[in-house]
Amino acid sequence: MKKRPPRIASELVTKALLENSKGAQSALVEILGKPFDQVPAFDGVIVYADDPSPRFISLSLKGKKKAEPISNVADIDAIKASLCIVMPPIARRP
């Protein structure tokens, strides 16, 4: 993101999604549910990780964490398929 809430720091996202810290996950969900700029709230956050293997990891506004490996990072269809699996559901009202 070019512009994101300042409280959503890389360290918080790393702790929440890569290190599986429940406290960081709770803090991140709280921030995601608050308005920012023109956005009333976020549905979740998605990160790409490549260690130990390429995968997407997401955390939804409801606090559900998902991870999906990317079978072939050179194949755009494989990337799209993995991304669709971790995409957080729309949790806020339009």
pLDDT in tens, the chain (94 residues): 678 888 999 999 999 999 999 999 999 999 999 988 888 888 999 999 998 899 999 999 999 999 999 999 999 999 999 999 999 998 666 5
C-alpha span between 61 and 52 (Å, rounded): 26
Q: Residue 1: its pLDDT value, please?
A: 63
Name the residue with tokens 């409280």.
7
